[in-house]
Chain A
Amino acid sequence: MRIELVKRKEHSQAMALLSPLIAVALTALAAAIIFLISGHNPLEALYKFFIEPLTQQWSLEATIDKATPLILIGCGLAVCYLSNNWNIGAEGQFVVGAIFGSVLPVLFPSFENVATLPLMLLFGAIGGALWALIPALLKTRFNTNEILTSLMLVYVAGLLLDYLVRGPWRDPGGYNFPESRIFSDAATLPEVFGGTMSLSAPITIVVAVVLAVVLAKTLKGFEIRVMGESPRAGSFAGFSAKGLTIFSFALAGALAGLAGTMEVSGALNQLLPSISPGYGFTAIIVAFLGRLNPIGIIIAGFVLALSYIGGEGVQSAMGVSNEIASVIQGLLLFFVLACDTLILYRIRITGQRASTGEASHV
């Protein structure tokens, strides 16, 4: 008996919807087994991990707050990945965006008026875009591999922030501790809906929806898709691969930078030596989990955020290792990638050895 993958003539619409659900179910099953092996009640753990955070207002808000930067960064990355530009340095773009966005409240603390916040957000987006343009320009100009340059710049960005917060941008009244001054109210993103959620959540949803429309309905969206699937065909249509590389990196950088600024302005209220628990990297998972579609990314960002909040829940209530969250995230991504195969291929179980030209051997 052999198992063969047979390519479908068309993408399976049913599978496109079903495969993420199958992946989530398989992840839950695998997680249950891990809980069991490590001596915990799997049903209770699964409940606390996936359901409980949704049952209380504060944890729901916390989940949304956590999802916001992931979704915003993931949307930008999706544009990169759709057009075959492998930007994996969003973490660095997030950080540099936060630095640019903090120029006003840190260096000009007395500049307090209605323009403060909009300017900060603008600066943040510019900062992230500039940082992202480094690997983009190196790619278009020198053909340098963008995966590695964008990644290297993550470390450089982190060290730059570290230098600023410990050196020139240190809070003059902060006993030499490594933190910037606390932002004034004018530089703080307001909270909405009377809870702890900041304005960043609605802004993110708007950006994601606009991007979804752009991708689906406009010429730019068409260009991105064509260049991703077949650069040759795209160049016949008059699209420029280099132009798109610069566009997609700049957009992803701007969104990451915006996310970084909203994080320092809305959640942290100051710059710290480390401002991101790996949002830029987790957003890569989010982008793929959301199958590079902004609406999908909203859902995926929420699921990933849930895994953090749920991971804390099982850790505090049941003493499960905090590593369980990253194990589950890794498994989820694995299963999603594996299940995606079902969209493009049909699984056929055959009894004979004969194989046609259109089957791949497994």
Chain B
Amino acid sequence: MFEAVLLTVITAATPLLIAAVGELVVERSGVLNLGVEGMMIMGAVIGFAVANQTGSGTLGVFAAVGAGMAMSALFAVLVLFLVANQVATGLALTILGIGFSGMIGEAFIGVPGLDLPQLYIPVLSEIPFIGPVFFQQDALVYISFALVALVAYGLFRTRVGLVLRAVGDNHGSAHALGYSVVKIRFMAILFGGACAGLAGAYLSLAYTPQWVENMTAGRGWIALALVVFSSWLPLRVVVGAYLFGAVSVLNLHAQALEFDIPSQLLSSLPYLATIVVLVLISANRRLTLVNTPACLGKPFVPDR
């Protein structure tokens, strides 16, 4: 029973985790991209369409990543080169993504999707409990863990990560030291787009293998909350994503077990929990000041 619940939690948490890790890198570079939902839904529809047309789930995943990157490039051009307001541009990206995905997806409605094969890692998957939970998942679950490890290592143990954080903390000094703030941010934004696209592919190819309009249903926004929830630390994103997944799944279990609570209250728990955690984290000045990218959301123009 517990094992089964955990499996459900993993599938609910994985898309949040992938998208949030990508956005974390973007925000570490000092850019706030509110368009995660839009990039995610474009990833979902393009991933589904390509997988459907080519018969290859792998190609679908790559196409979804490409779609997410294309959307994020649009965002990057506006906020980096044209110095547009990041909040407004991110919102525009979401609106555009939801509209375009609906138009593109019309042809794929009611078409069953390809199911991504589960990867069973030999030997390890035989271990009781740990085996099924950690070693019998679809490929994207492993990729999500690999992504977190990669980002955690890359941000704090490599030179690239150091430069990226420097750009996010003080773009003026980073520029003075000779780093191209715009270039580094562009790359970070593209990475965030790739992750959001991948998260979308997870929804339309693994979670519920089909295309339906608005199928992201607000998950992009939750990913954004998770980044703050984690106070911009990759390993905490994992905790956050799994906590969030667990709350939404346990809500359904509580109902099936006949706890006498209004379902609307249960449904609002994840949102209330996020607010509480946000308050707890931000109330602790030491925690926030260390990790918050100081230039988050501020436009960079070299001549200032």
Contacts and interface: CB of A to CB of B under 8 A. Distances in A.
B96 to A, nearest CB: 3
A86 interface: yes
A22 to B, nearest CB: 13
Contact of B84 (A34, A324, A340, A361): A340
B92 A151 contact: no
B296 to A, nearest CB: 9
B225 A151 contact: yes
Nearest to A150: B275
A124 B283 CA distance: 31
B54 interface: no
B88 A333 contact: yes
B301 A360 contact: yes
B228 A155 contact: no
Decide if the interface of chain A is mainly helix, strand, loop or mixed: helix
Given A143-B282, A337-B84, A360-B81, A330 B102 contact: no
Interface in A331-362: 331, 333-334, 337-338, 340-341, 344-345, 357-362
B88 A156 contact: no
B82 A337 contact: yes
Contacts of A330: 92-97, 99-100
Given A323-B103, A359-B303, A145 B88 contact: no
A346 to B, nearest CB: 13
A327 B96 contact: yes
Interface stretch (A98-106, A194-202, A246-254, A280-288): A280-288
Interface string B183-217: 00000000000000000000000000000010000
Nearest to B88: A288
Given A38-B103, A145-B228, A325-B99, A163 B288 contact: no
Contacts of B224: 148
A79 to B, nearest CB: 15
Contacts of A147: 32, 34, 87
B272 interface: yes
Interface in A147-170: 147-149, 151-153, 155-156, 159-160, 162-163, 166-167
B146 to A, nearest CB: 27
B283 A142 contact: yes
Given A159-B268, A163-B265, 5 more contacts: A144-B282, A152-B225, A160-B264, A160-B268, A321-B102
Interface of A: 5, 7, 34, 38, 86, 88, 138, 142-145, 147-149, 151-153, 155-156, 159-160, 162-163, 166-167, 281, 284-285, 288, 321-331, 333-334, 337-338, 340-341, 344-345, 357-362
Complex A-B, nearest 10 residue pairs according to Cβ-Cβ distance, in ascending order:
A330-B96, A326-B99, A323-B102, A327-B99, A333-B92, A337-B84, A330-B95, A163-B264, A341-B82, A159-B264
